[in-house]
Structure 1
Amino acid sequence: MTQTRALIEEATKKSGLVWVRGAEAGTAARALWHVWHEGALHLVGDGPGEQPLTGLGLADGATASVTVRSKDKGGRLVEWTARVSELAPGGDAWTAAVADLKGKRLNAPDADRIEERWARECRVLRLEPSGETAELPEGSLAAAPVPTGATTRRPVPAGLPKLLARGARKARKARRR
């Protein structure tokens, strides 16, 4: 194993999130959870309640750019190019990858039937390193978050500070008793 391959594998194994961007121009990188299994990064998504993979250009046979961050500091460690392949549900490679993915999936609403749901509604992708790494760019590379209905940024209600202060006073009085 070359040093480059070893760096890619070790950094990707230890990172909880990777930033993936399709090779198409104009696609923004997206943070995705993953597992490293049998020499490649594996992702599951595009189903209800799973991470979105659409819009990244991750089609079977395409290439993608994967940026790996440090788990402790969050800084970029390595950026590598991957060949994308979609695993067929029920196949040997799919079954082995899903067994590892299932162990990393947090807070699944249907943990006992997750494999069936993934086979029916989701895509499982294998991103295998091509051996190429890119120079890490300088600067932040921060981008605006993907629009979602989950963000609810509204002003703080006018009465909230008084309500919080009153609750704190009651708590102090209760401790003194």
Structure 2
Amino acid sequence: MTSELLGRALVEEATKKSGLIWVRGTAGTQALWHVWHDGAVHLVGDGPGEQPLPGLADGGEARVTVRSKDKGGRLVAWSARVTELAPGSDAWRVAAGDLKTKRLNAPDGEAVTERWARECRLLRLDPVSVTTEFPAESQAAPPPPTPAVTRDAVPAGLPKLLLRRLGRRKK
């Protein structure tokens, strides 16, 4: 019982302090901004201009990993039960109010909650089980393929040119 209470306290404290959590649903893992309210994570998304919520469905499960705010490493992971809040309900209004204070650069300012009610989903992730032990491998996903390339190698004469310019300035 004591370890369960300590685990829940760690989940709450770490998740409150972290501005970003990693959530794995049925469609993969996504970094998401959130707010901790009433013993659970609340997320808004899946609408125009908002974060995607891939594979997170009402009644489903998700895996949440919280990073340490100072070092950025994995601190705690927990399983969650996903619940979609109905727009206009008391729980939805309270959670949307908290999320509104954390939402940066909303295009519609104070009317953001009205847009969320029309076009987005607001999810609640309730902790079910906690772990602080992680696999030895990093679990980092390989970067997706991209047409972007790194720049070419530095021309051979450039270091000499730069050194000559620095030498002239010192005189």
- What residue in structure 1 maps to residue 85 of structure 2? 87
| Match of residue 7, structure 1, among 10, 14, 20 | 10
Instruction: Provide the C-alpha distance between the structure 2 equivalents of 1:129 and 1:6, rounded to a whole number of angstroms.
Output: 11
TM-score w.r.t. the length of structure 1 is 0.78
Which structure is larger by alpha-carbon Rg, 1 or 2? 2
Secondary structure of residue in 1 paired with 2:107: coil
Alpha carbon RMSD of aligned pairs, Å?
2.5
* Residues 1:18 and 2:25 are matched in the alignment: no
Asked if structure 1 preserves the Cα contact closer than 8 Å seen for 2:61 and 2:79, the reply is yes
Structure 2: 5+ residue stretches without partners? 153-157, 159-164
Deviation at 1:28, TM superposition (A): 2.5
Deviation at 1:138, TM superposition (A): 1.6
- What residue in structure 1 maps to residue 98 of structure 2? 100
Secondary structure of residue in 1 paired with 2:28: coil
Instruction: Using the TM superposition, name which of 40-49 and 129-138 deviates more.
Output: 129-138
Alignment-mate amino acid for residue 128 of structure 2:
S
Secondary structure of residue in 2 paired with 1:47: coil
Instruction: Provide the C-alpha distance between the structure 2 equivalents of 1:12 and 1:43, rounded to a whole number of angstroms.
Output: 13
- What residue in structure 2 maps to residue 140 of structure 1? 138
Compared with structure 1, are the counterparts of its residues 100 and 152 closer, same or farther at alpha carbon in structure 2 (3 Å cutoff)? farther
TM-score w.r.t. the length of structure 2 is 0.80
Instruction: Provide the C-alpha distance between the structure 2 equivalents of 1:29 and 1:5, rounded to a whole number of angstroms.
Output: 22
Residues 71-122 of structure 1 deviation map (CA, whole Å, 9 limit, x = unaligned): 1211000010000000000100000000110000011111121001000000
Counterparts in 2 of 1:154-169, with a 5 A limit?
none
Asked if structure 1 preserves the Cα contact closer than 8 Å seen for 2:42 and 2:124, the reply is yes
Count of paired positions: 154
Instruction: Provide the C-alpha distance between the structure 2 equivalents of 1:144 and 1:119, rounded to a whole number of angstroms.
Output: 36
Instruction: Provide the C-alpha distance between the structure 2 equivalents of 1:86 and 1:31, rounded to a whole number of angstroms.
Output: 19
Seq. identity, %: 66
Alignment-mate amino acid for residue 121 of structure 2:
R
Alignment-mate amino acid for residue 74 of structure 1:
G
Residues 55-75 of structure 1 deviation map (CA, whole Å, 9 limit, x = unaligned): xx2111111100000112110
Instruction: Provide the C-alpha distance between the structure 1 equivalents of 2:147 and 2:141, rounded to a whole number of angstroms.
Output: 19
- What residue in structure 2 maps to residue 36 of structure 1? 36
Instruction: Provide the C-alpha distance between the structure 2 equivalents of 1:115 and 1:153, rounded to a whole number of angstroms.
Output: 37
Structure 1: 5+ residue stretches without partners? 163-168
